[in-house]
């Protein structure tokens, strides 16, 4: 992003772009940064040096006057196709806001329209919904703390692997069939075969034992293991 740019530096390029499209442009009209009018169509644009919550609040407030509301900011480094901006674009679509990038010093495309304000049709992804519910149902209880990071989370997969490790620690090497009879579930074989955490070691066909890392994991998650 061009760090030295101010909101007023963005305006001339935006005004020139809009006027080239046939709009009448006026700045600072009833607290609106930029107003553009053409054939009865009113567009309101909020200018800021960066996208933040305050800007989103202002833009949503402008929707009381018109459905055509944009936010305009200096073009960020990497453009709108980084992972962060993919999430931002989804948010703006939900808010039914448009997005404009401005590069006033650029000779080519100083104004770039990334999003137009359009009615948002909420579509739930059935596959994602099923995955969330399946993950919740796969956990015996709540062993994580909401908002935590940089710590190992207890997922349904990890809990299943710990349950297998618990039985191997108690009984020594076991077959996948014997483990399933103890309630380790239908994913027992792929968990042992994939050995994502390096907790298991195959000692013969279909028979597994616990590694040192597996024993250590039982200690790391002792509170959960005690519930088994």
Structure confidence at residue 219 as a pLDDT band (50, 70, 90): very high
Tell me how far apart the alpha carbons of residues 174 and 164 are, in angstroms, rounded to a whole number. Answer: 10
Helices (H), 172-208: 176-181, 188-194
* Residue-wise pLDDT tens digits, 4-42: 677 778 888 999 999 999 999 988 888 888 999 999 899
Q: Is the distance from CB of 28 to CB of 55 less than 8 angstroms?
A: no
**Within 10 A of 23 (CB to CB), how many other CB atoms are there?**
19
Q: What is the pLDDT of residue 4?
A: 67
Tell me how far apart the alpha carbons of residues 187 and 174 are, in angstroms, rounded to a whole number. Answer: 15
- What share of the chain in percent tops pLDDT 70? 92
CATH class of 149-225: mainly alpha
Helices 53-62, 83-95: axis angle to 10 degrees equals 30
Mean pLDDT for 180-186 is 93
CATH class of 7-115: alpha beta
* Residue 2 scores a pLDDT above 50: no
**Strand order in 207-210's β-sheet?**
174-175, 207-210, 200-204
Helices (H), 49-182: 53-62, 83-95, 126-137, 156-171, 176-181
Structure confidence at residue 105 as a pLDDT band (50, 70, 90): confident
Statement: the pTM of the whole predicted model exceeds 0.75: no
* Residue 60 scores a pLDDT above 80: yes
Average pLDDT, the chain: 87
Between residues 53 and 147, which one has the greater pLDDT?
Answer: 53
**Span of 20-34, 93-107, 128-142 with lowest mean pLDDT:** 128-142
Question: What region does 96 belong to: left with phi over 0, alpha with psi -120 to 50, or beta?
Answer: left
Q: Sketch the domain layout of the chain as residue ranges.
A: 7-115, 149-225
Q: Is the distance from CB of 209 to CB of 198 less than 8 angstroms?
A: no
Q: Which helix (H) or strand (E) holds 29?
A: strand 24-29
């Amino acid at each position: 992003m061009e760090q030295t740019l101010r909101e007023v530096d963005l305006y001339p390029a935006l005004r020139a772009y809009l006027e080239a499209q046939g709009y009448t442009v006026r700045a600072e009209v009833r607290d609106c940064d930029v107003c553009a009018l053409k054939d009865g169509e009113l567009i309101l644009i909020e200018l800021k040096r960066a996208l933040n919550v305050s800007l989103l609040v202002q833009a949503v407030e402008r929707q009381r006057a018109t459905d055509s509301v944009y936010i305009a900011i200096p073009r960020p480094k990497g453009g709108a196709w980084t992972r962060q901006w993919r999430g931002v674009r989804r948010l703006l679509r939900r808010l039914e806001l448009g997005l404009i990038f401005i590069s006033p010093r650029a000779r080519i495309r100083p104004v770039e329209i990334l999003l137009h304000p359009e009615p948002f049709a909420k579509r739930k992804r059935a596959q994602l919904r099923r995955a969330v519910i399946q993950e919740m149902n796969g956990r015996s209880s709540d062993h994580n703390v909401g908002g935590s990071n940089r710590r190992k989370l207890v997922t349904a997969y990890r809990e299943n692997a710990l349950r297998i490790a618990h039985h191997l620690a108690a009984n020594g090497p076991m077959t996948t069939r014997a483990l399933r009879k103890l309630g380790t579930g239908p994913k027992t074989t792929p968990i042992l075969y994939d050995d994502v955490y390096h907790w298991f070691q195959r000692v013969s066909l279909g028979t597994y034992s616990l590694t040192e890392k597996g024993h250590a994991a039982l200690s790391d998650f002792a509170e959960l293991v005690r519930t088994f």
